[in-house]
Structure 1
C-alpha cells in the first residue's frame, strides 16, 4: 500500500485496497476518507484532502513513474 506521514500533523495516511485512505493520528485515532478527503467512517473526522488525493487519486502510468517522488516508500513500521 502507499503510505505517507503528514509533515505537519504526523498522522499516517495509508491507501486501502478499496481505494480509500485510512488516516491514523499520532494519538492512534483513525478514520477512513475518500480520495477527495471526505469522511466515510471512524472517530477521526478530518484529514488533509490534498494528501488524500495525492496518495489515492489517479496515478501515473508505470512508464512515467521513474522520478524518486513516485517510487514506493518505506513501510510504516520503519518510520
Structure 2
C-alpha cells in the first residue's frame, strides 16, 4: 500500500499512485484530484494542489529508478 502524506498547512492527503501521479484528497470537503509531478491537474473535482508538496511526496515515495528520469528533466 502506498504511503499517504498529510500536508502540513492544508487539510489534504497526498498519495503517490503506481503510474507516478499524485492523488490528493481534501480532508474537509472530500474532493479528490489527480496531479502530474509538476502540479498540473489531470482529473477529479479538486483542481488545485501544492506543486512543491507533490514533489516532496514523489521524492519520498518513489524508488530511485522511478525518480531518475524526472531528476534528469526527461519528463514532467
Same fold (TM over 0.5): yes
Q: How many residues align?
A: 61
TM-score normalised over the length of structure 1: 0.68
Structure 2, unpaired ranges of 5+? 65-76
Runs of 4+ residues over 2 Å off in structure 1: 57-61
Structure 1, unpaired ranges of 5+? 62-79
TM-score normalised over the length of structure 2: 0.71
Contact 1:13 1:21 in 2 (8 A): yes
2:35 alignment partner in structure 1:
33
Alignment of 1:1-79 (within 5 A): 1-26=2-27, 27-57=29-59, 61=64
Bigger radius of gyration: 1
Q: CA deviation at 1:57?
A: 4.4
CA deviations 1:38-67 (Å, max 9, x no partner) are: 100000000000010111248575xxxxxx
